[in-house]
Amino acid sequence: MNIPAPILIIGIGNPSRGDDALGPLLIERLEALALPDVELLTDFQLQVEFSLDLQQRQQVIFVDASLNAAPPFTFTPVVAAEDTSYSSHALSPSAVLHAYLKLFGEPPPSYVLAIRGEAFELGEGLSEAAAKHLEAALGWLREWLTETTVD
């Protein structure tokens, strides 16, 4: 039986929609680093099934592009909460944690790494500003993960 890595990072976004690719692009960059004790997943959007992936995790980080995040990125705790995303096709990180809470009890400490995006049009490439924000987020997260997995 495979035991999951203590830290799970989930990149959310659509690579065909400009800066919405920030989540998956960060996951690609982290894959190249082959960090120990870190598991990486990516998808276009969160779904309730992701609550199963949170089992036996030390921490979880949801990575997504955001028009509302202060540049270059924000890193904030997220808590379990039932919200209106339960009735939509995609779930929020809070709703995924709420599903976990209902199924298994208290979820692991979780965070949202929201990387500032500027352009989300279909067929667009990554904007220059978003590329810089991605680099800043990657550098910060790499350092944070190194400190977290050493402790």
Over residues 135-150, mean pLDDT:
90
CATH architecture group of domain 7-150: 3-Layer(aba) Sandwich (3.40)
Residue 25 corresponds to which tokens in the numbers above?
């692009």
What does the alpha-carbon distance between residue 30 and residue 4 come to, in Å, rounded to a whole number?
A: 17
Closest CA to 118 of 12, 24, 18: 18
At residue 43, does pLDDT exceed 60? yes
Alpha carbon separation from 45 to 23, 24, 91, 151 (Å, rounded) = 10, 11, 7, 31
Single pTM value for the model: 0.92
At residue 84, does pLDDT exceed 90? no
Domain ranges of the chain: 7-150
At residue 149, does pLDDT exceed 80? no
CA atoms within 13 A on the CB side of 88: 11
Over residues 15-21, mean pLDDT:
95
Quote the percentage of the chain above a pLDDT of 90: 81
